[in-house]
């Protein structure tokens, strides 16, 4: 981390910050207004120089996918070996972003199609994603919403946000609201306070979550004033995005401590990125550093099929190998869940190594992380009890509040005792078309 201090000094000097001016560095507003938005500035501040023809190609890249790097995040780049640097790779354009593959998509997760009103994506039965803005302090090169984020710096109008809130109010199945973007912490404390207070008023909303990358890319945004606002909401969770242990600087740790001290449960989502963190040892280190800072690893994402991300993608096998290296080998709560967000809008699908080796009518053969093979003997006399989903007559004596979810869905439908469905059939197959003709 020595170079990090040296770098910070160098960049501060190139900004002509000295004396009292140095306090500006820790002012997130100064950081935002001095974000690096072109290659010349990047060269000037970091001292890294590119060849003329590389620079031309970089310009083309930036025209399609703009650049924005906070001076703070730029100071974490190791200038001596920037080509291999995980911070550089996540923040600085790569000319390969322009290599489009036939399977790349503008909106691989169909977030637009599953959007009933601007800003809201309603995909799962009981929760919605609520985007408040398109902007971020740092534009991650691996951003899945590349087509939107940075397109035009855009914060939804209060009117649009009200539409979103209205949708949540009217849709009583929504018990969890995931506030996202862009980065919601790009908005002012007052504005966030307003949105959170409006959502909290809705009786059926049980939890709110904010997804933000600020603790990693601009930790100075976590001010005492912001924490004071967030602390008021006792049903609020925060998810951050750290992708490499090098992002967990002292400054980032202070920001996380402020949030944790105020009682907000913290989670982290990591994106699996080729050349950045596609290594079990780096990943384990990252997860260990996170739990040390009271951040619970939540998801490890397989990189999406968005345009411009091809050079970041790994085979799924790499993710499985990473999980194989963590499950059992380290604390369970330091192990994230590895998921692929289904192209076409199917939501997150968990991927885990295989642990069940075989099965008989009353025995399950399993293997553990060391390769030990064991048998779990199932009970000889287990009487499954019929479930009519009407908990009133159940001998488990669980007097559930009127359950919201009476209708079984998906595979649960097939498992249900009361639903008569015997198969889930894709629509529009030749077989189904033939049936209809008769």
Ligand X SMILES: *Cc1c(COP(=O)(O)O)cnc(C)c1O
For binding to ligand SF4 (CB under 6 A), which residues are involved? 136, 139-140, 143, 145, 149, 181-183, 213
The question of whether 27 is a catalytic residue gets the answer: no
Q: Could you say whether residue 231 binds ligand X (CB under 6 A)?
A: no
Query: Could you tell me how far CA 131 lies from the centroid of its own chain?
Result: 13
Q: Rounded to the nearest whole angstrom, what is the least distance from the CB of residue 208 to ligand X in the complex?
A: 12
The token pair that represents 176 in the structure block: 């969890």
Instruction: Return the closest-CA partner of residue 147 out of 340, 302, 305.
Output: 305
The question of whether 40 is a catalytic residue gets the answer: no
Of the candidate residues 140, 178, 218, 273, the single one contacting ligand X (CB under 6 A):
178
Instruction: Return the closest-CA partner of residue 247 out of 215, 210, 288.
Output: 215
Count of residues in contact with ligand X, rule CB under 6 A: 7
Of the candidate residues 8, 31, 121, 251, the single one contacting ligand X (CB under 6 A):
121
Q: Which of 89, 94, 140, 146 is catalytic?
A: 140
Stretch that binds ligand X, among 118-126, 161-169, 321-329, 365-373 (CB under 6 A): 118-126
* Cβ count near 437 (within 10 Å): 5
The single-letter DSSP state of residue 328 is T
Q: Could you say whether residue 127 binds ligand X (CB under 6 A)?
A: yes
Residue 192 dihedral angles phi and psi, to the nearest 5°:
-60, -45
Would you say 164 or 219 has its CB closer to ligand X?
164
Q: Which of 28, 85, 123, 284 is catalytic?
A: 123
Q: Rounded to the nearest whole angstrom, what is the least distance from the CB of residue 181 to ligand X in the complex?
A: 13
Q: Rounded to the nearest whole angstrom, what is the least distance from the CB of residue 303 to ligand SF4 in the complex?
A: 11
CA 200, 202, 206, 210 dihedral sign is negative
* Binding at 143: pick from ligand X, ligand SF4, none (beta carbon under 5-8 Å per type): ligand SF4
The token pair that represents 382 in the structure block: 């287990």
Would you say 275 or 345 has its CB closer to ligand X?
345
* Binding at 348: pick from ligand SF4, ligand X, none (beta carbon under 5-8 Å per type): ligand X
The question of whether 136 is a catalytic residue gets the answer: yes
* Binding at 147: pick from ligand X, ligand SF4, none (beta carbon under 5-8 Å per type): none
Q: Rounded to the nearest whole angstrom, what is the least distance from the CB of residue 124 to ligand X in the complex?
A: 5
Answer left, alpha or beta for residue 266, where phi above 0 means left and psi between -120 and 50 means alpha. Answer: beta
The question of whether 304 is a catalytic residue gets the answer: yes
60 vs 97: CA distance, rounded Å: 10
Q: Could you say whether residue 148 binds ligand X (CB under 6 A)?
A: no
The question of whether 348 is a catalytic residue gets the answer: yes
Q: Is the Cβ–Cβ distance between 65 and 92 less than 8 Å?
A: no
Stretch that binds ligand X, among 124-132, 155-163, 240-248, 280-288 (CB under 6 A): 124-132
Query: Which residues sit opposite 132 in a β-bridge?
Result: none
The question of whether 13 is a catalytic residue gets the answer: no
Each as own residue / partner, the long-range contacts of residues 44-47 (CB below 8 Å, 24 or more positions apart, any chain) are 44/14, 45/11, 45/14, 45/15, 45/71, 45/74, 46/7, 46/10, 46/11, 46/74, 46/77, 46/79, 46/82, 47/10, 47/79
Would you say 3 or 124 has its CB closer to ligand X?
124
Of the candidate residues 10, 162, 348, 367, the single one contacting ligand X (CB under 6 A):
348
Spell out, one character per residue from 274 to 313, where the chain touches ligand X: x when CB under 6 A holds, - when not: ----------------------------------------
Q: Which of 124, 154, 191, 298 is catalytic?
A: 124
116 vs 94: CA distance, rounded Å: 35
Q: Rounded to the nearest whole angstrom, what is the least distance from the CB of residue 43 to ligand X in the complex?
A: 37
247 vs 229: CA distance, rounded Å: 25
Residues in contact with ligand X by CB under 6 A are 121, 123-124, 127, 129, 178, 348
């Amino acid at each position: 981390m020595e170079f990090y201090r040296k770098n910070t000094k160098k960049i501060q000097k190139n900004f002509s910050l000295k004396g009292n001016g140095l306090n500006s560095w820790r002012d997130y507003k100064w950081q935002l207004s001095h974000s690096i938005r072109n290659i010349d500035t990047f060269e000037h501040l970091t001292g890294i120089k590119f060849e003329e023809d590389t620079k031309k190609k970089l310009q083309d890249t930036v025209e399609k996918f703009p650049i924005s790097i906070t001076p703070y995040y730029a100071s974490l780049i190791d200038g001596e070996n920037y080509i291999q640097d995980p911070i550089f790779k996540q923040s600085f354009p790569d000319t390969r972003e322009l290599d489009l593959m036939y399977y790349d998509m503008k909106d691989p997760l169909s977030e637009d199609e599953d959007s009933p009103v601007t800003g809201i994506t309603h995909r799962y039965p009981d929760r919605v994603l609520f985007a408040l803005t398109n902007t971020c302090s740092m534009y991650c090169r691996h951003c899945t919403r590349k087509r939107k984020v940075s397109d035009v710096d855009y914060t939804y109008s209060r009117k649009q946000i009200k539409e979103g809130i209205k949708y949540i109010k009217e849709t009583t199945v929504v018990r969890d609201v995931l506030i996202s973007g862009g980065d919601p912490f790009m908005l002012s404390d007052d504005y966030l306070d307003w949105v959170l207070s409006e959502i909290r008023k809705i009786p059926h909303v049980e939890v709110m979550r904010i997804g933000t990358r600020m603790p990693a890319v601009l930790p100075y945004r976590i001010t005492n004033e912001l924490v004071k606002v967030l602390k008021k909401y006792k049903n609020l969770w925060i998810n951050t995005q750290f992708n490499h242990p090098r992002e967990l600087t002292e400054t980032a740790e202070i920001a996380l401590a402020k949030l944790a001290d105020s009682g907000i449960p913290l989670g982290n989502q990591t994106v699996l990125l080729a050349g950045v963190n596609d290594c079990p040892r780096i990943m384990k280190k990252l997860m260990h550093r996170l739990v040390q800072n009271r951040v619970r690893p939540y998801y490890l994402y397989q990189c999406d099929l968005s345009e411009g991300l091809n050079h970041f993608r790994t085979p799924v096998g790499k993710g499985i190998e990473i999980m194989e290296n963590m499950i059992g080998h380290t604390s369970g709560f330091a192990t994230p869940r590895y998921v692929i967000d289904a192209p076409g809008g199917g939501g997150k699908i968990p991927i885990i190594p295989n642990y069940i080796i075989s099965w008989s009518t009353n025995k399950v053969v399993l293997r553990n992380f060391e390769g030990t093979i064991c048998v779990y003997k199932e009970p000889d006399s287990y009487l499954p009890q019929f479930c009519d989903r009407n908990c009133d007559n159940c001998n488990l004596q669980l007097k559930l509040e009127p359950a919201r979810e009476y209708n079984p869905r998906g595979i649960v439908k097939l498992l249900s005792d009361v639903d008569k469905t015997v198969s889930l059939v894709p629509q529009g197959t030749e077989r189904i078309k033939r049936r209809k003709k008769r």
